[in-house]
């Protein structure tokens, strides 16, 4: 969808359009990660339109798409005002699609707020390429970025890899320059986290997390047998990339190991998705087929999590960001048994770790007339004392390094999820690593194919592998033109 701008700045050449990598996503839609929404935006940086803020630098406006962040942000805003005298008005627009529409409309009318919460390393770069977000690379020094967890300190930056991905003219971030920075991290986490309803599990005789994928399949079988209607597994498979990125890929990494997992996306027919390795991994993923809750393929991410919170499924696949949503929907963290997708007993990585990545970030709009104060607010949120209070209020993992207080601040269930982060480079599935894929790789097209394997159950693993191989090779062909 293109948004026609009626007032073009003189230097606006073409319109940048893109797809947000909202991968969780939702609520933190992880870039890469899952949810992808078409976003069409035009360059506005030189237009100098209204920022929507007011008060001679003493009032800032901020928008977020996460309802669960509102209370924590408001509490932080109160402390910020006490310290600086600057008021921060915070508004939430959800779900993600509504937020995207809101930003689109505001970009069109030059009525953006001063600060936007954005999906990290996807949406932020799209906004940057469109001139919606300010390049803050010269403003974020080590005294600021050093406040964050080491794994996410560069989030929001156009790295060499991100620049390479932006080069195709149809890239959603086409036009960005290496070294630019369009956001700083705010929340972190990972996906591929399995959650079980402790009550439903106990009814089926399950009292602890499974040690292997095979044990988990047995547990799924047990809850399904105990309650054929509500004992299954939910996942927001209407967003088909969730099946690919939240379940298949971590499982394939555990089965094959890092190098052979990367090779699935290569041009080597002996190791790619149609190879014996690829078919083996696809077959493992398809073993979930009997346990999907009825209709899970028609549920979006929120819908799948709501089904779990309402007792319509015994299991749910999500991420660290899911717990806050479950809590909003009446499920207490102590009611949840959470663990990372376990590896197959005979796999190359039987006990895989799940690498954390920045989920959401904070961006300054290029039209803000209070950019210095906006950055002051963003840096304030990164302070450990402020981030701790926010994490507790939001039930989210903050991007700020919280040190020894993390367990106390986050509570036992959320802290247990973060334990899945602990691993070595060789046994950690890193969802942010796309270095082994061709530029222009489109996870959503791949997800359409794998959905035919499961939950749609229309193709075999072998045929799915062949179809994925064909599409993957087309990405390589385009990338090498």
HEC letters along the chain: CCCCCCCCCCCCCCCCEEEECCCCCCCCCCCCCCCCEEEECCCCCCCCCCCCCCCCCCEEEEEECCHHHHHHHHHHHHHHHHHHCCEEEEEECCCHHHHHHHHHHHHHHCCCCCEEEEECCCHHHHHHHCCCECCCCCCCCHHHHCCECHHHCCCCECCHHHHHHHCCCCCCCCCCCCCCECCEEEEEECEEEEEEEHHHHHHCCCCCCCCCHHHHHHHHHHHHHHCCCCCCEECCCCCCHHHHHHHHHHHHHHHHCHHHHHHCCCCCCCCCCCCHHHHHHHHHHHCCHHHECCCHHHCCHHHHHHHHHCCCCCEEEEECCHHHHHHHCCCCHHHEEEEECCCCCCCCCCCCEECCEEEEEEEEECCCCCHHHHHHHHHHHCCHHHHHHHHHHHCCEECECCHHHHHHHHCHHHHHHHHHHCCCCCCEECCCCCCCCCCCCCHHHHHHHHHHHCCCCCCCHHHHHHHHHHHHHHHHHHHCC
Instruction: Give the pLDDT confidence of 331-340 residue by residue, as tens digits.
Output: 998 899 999 9
pTM of the model: 0.77
Instruction: Give the pLDDT confidence of 150-208 residue by residue, as tens digits.
Output: 889 999 999 998 898 898 888 889 999 999 999 999 999 988 999 999 999 999 999 99
- pLDDT band at 410, cuts 50/70/90? confident
Instruction: Give the pLDDT confidence of 348-364 residue by residue, as tens digits.
Output: 999 999 988 999 999 99
Quick one: pLDDT at residue 8? 26
pLDDT at 4 over 60: no
pLDDT at 29 over 50: no
Instruction: Give the pLDDT confidence of 124-149 residue by residue, as tens digits.
Output: 999 999 999 999 999 999 999 999 98
- pLDDT band at 52, cuts 50/70/90? very low
pLDDT at 15 over 80: no
Average pLDDT value for residue range 422-429: 89
pLDDT at 50 over 80: no
Quick one: pLDDT at residue 412? 77
Average pLDDT value for residue range 14-23: 28
Q: How high does pLDDT run on average in the chain?
A: 86
- pLDDT band at 12, cuts 50/70/90? very low
pLDDT at 301 over 70: yes
pLDDT at 11 over 60: no
Least confident of 70-84, 370-384, 437-451: 437-451
Quick one: pLDDT at residue 28? 35
* Share of residues in the chain with pLDDT > 70 (%): 88
């Amino acid at each position: 969808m293109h948004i026609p701008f009626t007032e073009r700045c003189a230097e606006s050449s073409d319109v940048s359009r893109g797809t947000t990598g909202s991968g969780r996503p939702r609520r933190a839609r992880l870039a890469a990660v899952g949810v992808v929404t078409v976003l069409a935006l035009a360059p506005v940086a030189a237009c100098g339109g209204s920022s929507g803020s007011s008060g001679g630098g003493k009032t800032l406006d901020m928008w977020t798409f996460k309802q669960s962040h509102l209370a924590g942000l408001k509490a932080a805003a109160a402390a910020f005002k006490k310290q600086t005298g600057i008021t921060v008005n915070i508004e939430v627009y959800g779900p993600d699609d509504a937020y995207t529409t809101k930003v689109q409309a505001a970009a069109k009318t030059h009525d953006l707020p001063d600060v936007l919460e954005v999906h990290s390393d996807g949406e932020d770069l799209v906004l940057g390429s469109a001139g919606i977000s300010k390049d803050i690379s010269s403003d974020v020094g080590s005294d600021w970025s050093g406040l964050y967890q080491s794994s996410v300190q560069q989030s929001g930056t156009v790295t060499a890899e991100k620049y390479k991905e932006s080069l195709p003219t149809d890239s959603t971030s086409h036009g960005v320059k290496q070294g630019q920075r369009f956001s700083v991290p705010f929340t972190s986490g990972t996906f591929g986290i399995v959650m079980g309803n402790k009550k439903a599990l106990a009814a089926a005789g399950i009292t602890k997390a499974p040690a292997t994928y095979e044990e988990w399949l047995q547990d799924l079988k047990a809850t399904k047998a105990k309650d054929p209607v509500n004992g299954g597994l939910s996942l927001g498979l209407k967003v088909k990339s969730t099946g690919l990125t939240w379940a298949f890929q971590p499982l394939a990494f555990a089965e094959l190991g890092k190098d052979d997992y990367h090779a699935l996306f290569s041009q080597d027919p002996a190791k790619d998705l149609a190879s014996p390795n690829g078919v083996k991994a696809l077959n493992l993923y398809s073993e979930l087929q009997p346990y999907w809750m009825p209709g899970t393929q028609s549920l979006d991410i929120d819908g799948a999590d709501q089904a779990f919170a309402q007792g319509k499924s015994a299991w749910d696949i999500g991420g660290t960001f899911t717990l806050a949503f479950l809590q909003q929907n009446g499920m207490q963290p102590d009611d949840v048994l959470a663990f990372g997708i376990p590896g197959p007993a005979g796999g190359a990585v039987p006990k895989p770790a799940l690498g954390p990545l920045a989920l959401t970030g904070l961006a300054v709009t290029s039209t803000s007339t209070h950019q210095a104060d906006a950055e002051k607010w963003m840096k304030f949120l990164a302070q450990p004392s402020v981030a701790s209070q926010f994490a507790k209020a939001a039930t989210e993992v903050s991007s700020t390094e919280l040190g020894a207080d993390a367990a106390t601040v986050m509570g036992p269930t959320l802290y247990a999820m973060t334990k899945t982060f602990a691993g070595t480079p060789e046994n950690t599935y890193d969802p942010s690593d796309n270095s082994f894929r061709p530029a222009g790789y489109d996870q959503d097209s791949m997800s359409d194919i794998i959905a035919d394997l499961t939950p749609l159950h229309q193709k075999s693993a072998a045929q799915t592998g062949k179809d994925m191989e064909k599409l993957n090779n087309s990405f390589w062909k385009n990338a090498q033109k």
